[in-house]
Amino acid sequence: MKDKMIIHKHKKVSFHENRLNQLGILLLTIFLILLIWTQKEVFRHLTKLGMLGLFFINLLSSASIFFPLPGVATVFLGGALWSPVLVGVVSGLGAALGELSGYFVGFGGRGIIGTLDYKKNWLIRIEGFFTQNGFVTTLIVALLPLPFFDFIGILAGTINYPMWKFFLATFLGRSIRDFIIAWTGARILPL
């Protein structure tokens, strides 16, 4: 009974608080887009960094676990500067490499989670699901512009899902997503 009390002592994030976080991220993204729109001349200098700059911005943005950085905004702008297909592939590669940070966090924590009795059944079920559906699940979640993709990486590392499959699914999903964002940027921003 004492163990259950300790578990329940931790504050759980309510649905309302999650919505506030999502709203904050949305407002930050809108602000960055408006900043890009009003300061076009400043952002034209991104061409000096080129694709390498786009790659590293997305790598760092995806490597920051649970702390969103403006990788999506650079993809949006990049679509107006370069080919949306190329922007999608380069930013998708950077994002996929960056998302490996979550995978490694999960892989490193595997031993700790495995020792918790109340988690073993959960891990067995998730591992079974990921063995059969991990690639498709990772690909679909990587396609969505949602901030919780870090959980998928941590989960994949925790259950020792093959890293190459996680990377490939993430690369494909992020590349397609980033192509769509870049294509939208190319249509909206007249640079």
Sequence ranges of the domains in the chain: 2-188
Amino acid making up residue 97? L
Q: Are 92 and 159 in contact (CB under 8 A)?
A: no
15 has a pLDDT exceeding 50:
no
- Check: CB of residue 102 under 8 Å from CB of residue 167: no
* CA distance linking residue 145 with residue 63, whole number of Å: 16
Residue carrying the six token digits 């919505």: 19
pTM of the model: 0.72
Query: For 150-186, what is each residue's pLDDT tens digit?
Result: 889 888 888 889 999 999 999 999 999 999 999 999 9
Q: Do residues 87 and 52 lie in contact, with contact meaning Cβ atoms separated by under 8 Å?
A: no
- pLDDT above 80: residue 45: no
- Average pLDDT of the segment spanning 3-18: 41
